[in-house]
Amino acid sequence: MHNSTTLPITDIKTKTAINYDRAEKQFIELLTTEDLDRHLDELRLVIDNIEKNIDFAIAAAYQTPSGDDAAHLFLQRILYRINRLKLFWFDSLRSYINEDSLYLQKLRKRIESVWQQWEIAQLDVESFKGIDVKKALHEKVAADIEPPLSEDNLYYRDELTIAGYRRLVAIGSLDGLVEASQISRTLGGVSNEIHAVLTRLLLEEYGGGRLARKHSSYFITMLEKLGMETQPEAYFDLVPWQLLATINHMFVVTERKSHFLRYIGGLLYGELSVPSGLRPYQAAGKRLGLSAEETSYWDIHIKVDELHGKWMLDDAALPLIEKYPQDAWEILLGYEQQKLLGSRSRKAVTQAVKEADKVVI
């Protein structure tokens, strides 16, 4: 569960301790406040506390050498709760009464601008400029499509217990149950070959419009067979900030058309790296004696994403390099950024899985 996080830091003016949990609960209440933007003055004390926690967290997460995991988690949870309003979850319509709130947009930008600067600083952006993008992309794909098994992958394959497997599935359900939804945000506009590739990819992920064959349905089946909750976000409190950051980053690059090339690069890496990334999970399931239904999500992705990676390279990334020669380096940037986000996320998830493995059943 999300542990209470009260930091022993006192604000000079209010003498109130920073408490991320309390601020997040207040924020959740704001989301369903009727006509939020018209009642900001009435809610000033609550809003001031939320913003104070956000400002403190921004400094702790992005403006200190080591960063602070509690601050990262708080900020990514706030961003996630704002971003999820862009997708319809078939829940109460009241959940969306503030989806166009200017205040929420301002708050998102307040966090996102600093976070994205921090993220981009992790990469040598200049190294992607002035090079043969097509050659560099081919080299990266060749290296990443079937990399050597890492220590963590060997752990999943050879040591993972059923408790760890259940933790892995629980954390993965946050994204797995709404998988590929963000692709839909890129499909508007003038029809073209790239648009057609993305549409084909979306249709594959959505089972050609047949719910039973939608990839997220396979995840539901896994959860059901393991006796776990199937409701979206049921295990939200188990999700590390690194995975939330990966999800929130996808909202950044899909919602802003100026980031389209970065999105294509990121999606390319995501699709081509899935089969090698999931094979250790599949192997763990077989070693543990799980049924095909209890590993079905891994199985279907290993099967189809090899083809999806080829589509993204041959039919999307390479044609876009020809169309946007001056900006094509952003495809490399998006590729490497997604690789970095994914690596960081997998390490955090593995740590959480290992902790579950240590629990005596």
Q: How far apart are CA 156 and CA 62, in angstroms?
A: 32
Tell which residue, 103, 169, 131, 206, has the closest CA to residue 356: 169
Same domain assignment for residues 36 and 90 = yes
Residues 196-254: tens digit of each pLDDT: 999 999 999 999 999 999 999 999 999 999 999 999 999 999 999 999 999 999 999 99
Q: How far apart are CA 318 and CA 213, in angstroms?
A: 30
Average pLDDT score over residue span 23-47: 96
The structure's pTM equals 0.93
Same domain assignment for residues 114 and 136 = no
> CATH number, domain at 278?
1.20.910.10
| pLDDT of 337 over the 70 cut | yes
Same domain assignment for residues 289 and 162 = yes
Same domain assignment for residues 322 and 194 = yes
* 171 — pLDDT class (breaks 50, 70, 90): very high
Half-sphere exposure of 165 (CA within 13 A, CB side): 26
**pLDDT at residue 10, rounded to an integer:** 37
* Domain interval for residue 24: 6-120
- What does the block give as tokens for 311? 């589509």
Residues 290-327: tens digit of each pLDDT: 999 999 999 999 988 888 999 999 999 999 999 999 99
> What is the tally of structural domains in the chain?
2
Residues 42-59: tens digit of each pLDDT: 999 999 999 999 999 999
Q: How far apart are CA 165 and CA 353, in angstroms?
A: 7
DSSP per position, 194-239: HHHHHHHHHHHHTGGG-GGGSHHHHHHHHHHHTT---STTTTGGG-
Same domain assignment for residues 116 and 15 = yes
In a domain, 1, yes or no: no
Same domain assignment for residues 139 and 116 = no
Of the listed ranges 17-21, 26-30, 33-37, 101-105, the least confidently predicted one is 17-21
Same domain assignment for residues 74 and 168 = no
Residues 195-205: tens digit of each pLDDT: 999 999 999 99
Same domain assignment for residues 83 and 167 = no
